[in-house]
Structure 1
Amino acid sequence: MTQAIDIRRCSPEDLRRRLEAGDPVVVLDVREEEERRFCSIPLPGSATDLHVPIGHVPDLIDELRRVISGRSLFVYCHHGVRSLATARWLAEQGLADVANLEGGIDAWSSSVDPGVPRY
């Protein structure tokens, strides 16, 4: 039996600091299209915003590798469960510097940006 890869956890405040610093990060939203239409994390121009529903991530792994290309990757969903599974899978595929946004967009809305609607 293989041991699960430990994924770095990132608080909403830590991600906000990285974004405010202008770090060239990639932020991957793995929620479904209906959730994404309702709200998303607003990102500055220095960050790359990706939306790939969790079920499509394996199909797009090569494209994700190309887009991420050595940058830090932050994965989020609604509460952080789907994104943790996705981050772990991506790390198992060899992607480095992958982090899960703890609490997902819900935590982002409650602790960083109350202008992002909660659901």
Structure 2
Amino acid sequence: MLDFETSVAQVKARLDAGDSIVLLDVRESWEIETASIAGTLNIPMGDLPARANNDLDPDGEIVVLCHHGARSLNVTAWLRNQGFERTQSMAGGIEQWSREIDPTVPRY
């Protein structure tokens, strides 16, 4: 079983390697308009129960992100309980991504 969390460095390395992962951003629309990572699937946390089975592959690998990592941990736990076993939370969220990986991503 995958660890519940993965680091921004691990996510970046996997994206650079071309690994097939879905980056799921569960922040609200205004947050995504403020700061985002190209290529993410955006489903606000509150919309996820209605959309998960239609928009996500239960066998696929999913990395969930939010602002600081709290919402994404909750979503990761919920998704795993729904059968999305290959789901992880990106520790530190987009804030950590901006600090470590891409300083052009605005911090808020």
TM over 0.5: yes
Identity rate of aligned residues, in percent? 39
Give the Å deviation of 1:96.
1.6
1:86 to 75, 78, 81: 75
Q: Which runs of 5+ in 2 are unaligned?
A: none
Give the Å deviation of 1:79.
0.2
Give the Å deviation of 1:62.
1.4
The alignment covers a number of residue pairs equal to: 107
Q: For the aligned residues, what is the CA RMSD?
A: 1.5
- How far apart are the structure 1 equivalents of 2:23 and 2:5? 14
Equivalence for 2:59: 70
Equivalence for 2:101: 112
Q: Which runs of 5+ in 1 are unaligned?
A: 1-5, 44-48
Give the Å deviation of 1:69.
4.8
Equivalence for 1:46: none
> TM-score by structure 1 length?
0.84
User: Match for 2:106: what amino acid?
Assistant: P
Equivalence for 2:7: 11
Q: Please list every run of at least 4 consecutive aligned residues from structure 1 whose deviation after the TM superposition is greater than 3 angstroms.
A: none
> TM-score by structure 2 length?
0.92
2:51 to 46, 57, 60: 60
- How far apart are the structure 1 equivalents of 2:90 and 2:78? 15
**Residue 22 (structure 1) aligned with residue 6 (structure 2):** no
Q: Deviations over 1:5-28 (max 9, x none)?
A: x95211000000000000111010
